[in-house]
């Protein structure tokens, strides 16, 4: 089908352009010479249909849908895009200066956004090795969340708002020179979501998420809070960082803490994280708490017989048991979840 006329270069004045049945555009040099593909199909046609229907089905302000649409079509003014158009001298990220500033880097991989995803309502761990493109990542999430429509809507909404606020905050940091703050970004995401709910009477997030992949976070049961522990530790310096995130059964974010620590092993750092998590629960009066750690040894040590564990951990495990005997606790449980990536912990070390 003939779509229009275009000028491709000064030497080739006017060319008929029509849509190829294959997957691109075909130019016909006058007088209608051999056809050749001059441009690949629009990026919009490369975005899977499921993703488009997901985006247009998200219950969020139109500006956020439009933002996601632009992001997936490479319509954002990233350094990667601007460099390709010879507007910028470097494609590198304006914040970390380490990687190309692509959409997936800005929204998922730039070091400062990992705590935002982890601290957000979905508690997502963004694993660099599992992401090739933004679309592919979204598809994985769709498959993960498509157990039922409520879950999918909740996950899609959360992702949309998180991406939007990350972009907004990033622009403020880069353009206005404001300080970077993952915590402020998490709070702003939740505020924006509440505002949108109030304005458009969106459905409240579903509390029925079920873990099917390493991305998932399972909410605690009614009236309990869940404290997630994460640790990073350096064997060369013995320095480490402890990350704690507290949420309720609706997935509502209460608080997050990043605490520096010194330990002789990663297990000791994990045990110290457990001590800090108990202190945090006592300090804030959380009476029904589900603790979740990715250190099986510490979880077993706390749940089973602490004398069977490592001797180095014994004093810390004793301390944890004392803390759990505090009258504050009416219920406490410890569960182990596999570590799908250490990316968040790395950033928590930096925060700590």
Nearest CB to Zn ion, comparing residues 3 and 77:
77
Query: Which range touches Zn ion (CB under 5 A), out of 47-55, 91-99, 313-321, 323-331?
Result: 91-99
Residue 219 neighbours by CB under 8 Å, 6+ apart: 207, 209, 226, 247, 248, 249, 250, 251
- Smallest gap from Cβ 255 to Zn ion, in A, equals 26
Residues 132-161 that bind Zn ion (CB under 5 A): none
- The verdict on 96 binding Zn ion (CB under 5 A) reads yes
Interface with Zn ion, residue 107, by CB under 5 A:
no
> What is the spatial distance between Cα 336 and Cα 304, in angstroms, rounded to a whole number?
13
Does 103 engage in binding with Zn ion (CB under 5 A)? no
Of the candidates 8, 17, 38, 95, which one interacts with Zn ion according to CB under 5 A?
95
Interface with Zn ion includes 110 (CB under 5 A)? Answer: yes
Question: Contact region for Zn ion (CB under 5 A) — 67-75, 94-102, 171-179, 242-250?
Answer: 94-102
Residue 96 vs 171, nearer CB to Zn ion:
96
CB of 102 to Zn ion, least distance (A): 10
Phi first, then psi, for residue 48 (nearest 5°) are -60, 150
Q: What is the smallest separation between the CB atom of 292 and Zn ion, expressed in angstroms?
A: 29
Q: How far is CA 259 from CA 187, 229, 245, 280, in A?
A: 19, 11, 12, 11
Residue 186 engages Zn ion in binding (rule: CB under 5 A)? no
Q: Which CB sits closer to Zn ion, 114 or 228?
A: 114
Q: Does 93 bind Zn ion (CB under 5 A)?
A: yes
CA distance 61 to 63: 5
Of 6-14, 90-98, 260-268, 282-290, the segment contacting Zn ion by CB under 5 A is 90-98
Strand partners, 313: none
Q: Decide: 116 and 186 in contact? Cβ < 8 Å.
A: yes
Footprint on residues 276-315 left by Zn ion (CB under 5 A): none
Residue with Cβ nearer Zn ion (163 or 246): 163
Cα gap 12→320, rounded to integer Å? 77
Is 71 a binding residue for Zn ion by CB under 5 A? The answer is no
Query: Segment near Zn ion (CB under 5 A), from 89-97, 164-172, 253-261, 300-308?
Result: 89-97
Would you say 310 and 297 are in contact if contact means Cβ atoms under 8 Å apart?
Answer: yes
Nearer to Zn ion, 224 or 347 (CB): 347
Size of the site for Zn ion (CB under 5 A): 4
Tokens of 113: 């956004």
Q: How far is the CB of 333 from Zn ion (least distance, A)?
A: 38
CB of 97 to Zn ion, least distance (A): 7
Cα–Cα distance measured from residue 45 to residue 111, given in angstroms and rounded to the nearest whole number: 30
Q: Which is nearer to Zn ion, 63 or 97 (CB)?
A: 97
Residue 260 β-bridge partners = 241
Encoded tokens for 259: 């605490």
* Residue closer to Zn ion, measured from CB, 103 or 324: 103
Q: Which is nearer to Zn ion, 110 or 280 (CB)?
A: 110
What angle separates helix 314-324 from helix 296-303, to the nearest 10 degrees? 60
**Which residue bears the tokens 């691109």?**
24
Q: How far is the CB of 74 from Zn ion (least distance, A)?
A: 17
Q: Quick one: tokens of 22? A: 């294959």
- Residue nearer to Zn ion on the CB measure, 125 or 247: 125
Which is it for strands 239-248 and 15-19: parallel, antiparallel or unpaired? unpaired
CB of 192 to Zn ion, least distance (A): 22
Strand ranges for the chain from DSSP E: 2-6, 15-19, 24-28, 36-40, 225-233, 239-248, 253-262, 288-293, 331-336
Q: Which residues bind Zn ion (CB under 5 A)?
A: 93, 95-96, 110
């Amino acid at each position: 089908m003939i779509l229009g006329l275009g000028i491709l270069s000064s030497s080739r004045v006017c060319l008929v352009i029509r849509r190829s049945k294959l997957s691109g555009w075909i130019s016909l040099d006058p007088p209608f010479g051999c056809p050749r593909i001059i441009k690949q199909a629009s990026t919009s046609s490369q975005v899977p249909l499921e993703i488009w229907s997901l985006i247009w089905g998200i219950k969020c302000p139109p500006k956020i849908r439009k933002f996601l649409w632009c992001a997936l079509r490479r319509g954002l003014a990233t350094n990667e895009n601007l460099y390709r158009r010879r507007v910028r001298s470097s494609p590198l990220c304006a914040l970390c200066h380490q990687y190309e500033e692509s959409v997936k880097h800005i929204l998922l991989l730039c070091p400062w956004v990992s705590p935002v995803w982890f601290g957000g309502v979905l508690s997502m761990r963004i694993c660099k090795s599992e992401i090739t493109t933004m679309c592919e990542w979204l598809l994985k999430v769709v498959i993960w969340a498509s157990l039922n429509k409520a879950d999918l809507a909740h996950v899609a909404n959360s992702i949309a708002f998180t991406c939007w606020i990350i972009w907004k905050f990033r622009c403020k940091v880069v353009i206005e020179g404001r300080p970077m703050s993952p915590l402020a970004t998490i709070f702003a995401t939740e505020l924006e979501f509440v505002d949108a709910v109030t304005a458009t009477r969106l459905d409240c997030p579903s509390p029925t998420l079920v873990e099917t992949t390493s991305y998932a976070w399972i909410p605690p049961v009614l009236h309990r809070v869940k404290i997630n522990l994460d640790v990073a530790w350096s064997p060369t310096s013995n320095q480490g960082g402890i990350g704690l995130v507290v949420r309720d059964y609706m997935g509502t974010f209460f608080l997050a803490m990043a605490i520096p620590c010194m330990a002789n092993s990663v297990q000791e750092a994990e045990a110290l994280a457990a001590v800090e998590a108990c202190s945090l629960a006592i300090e804030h009066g959380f009476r029904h708490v589900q603790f979740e750690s990715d250190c099986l040894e510490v979880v077993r040590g706390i749940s089973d017989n602490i004398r069977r564990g490592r001797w180095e951990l014994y004093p810390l495990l004793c301390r944890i048991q004392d803390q759990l005997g505090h009258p504050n606790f009416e219920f406490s449980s410890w569960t182990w979840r596999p570590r799908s990536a250490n990316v968040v912990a790395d950033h928590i070390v930096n925060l700590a």
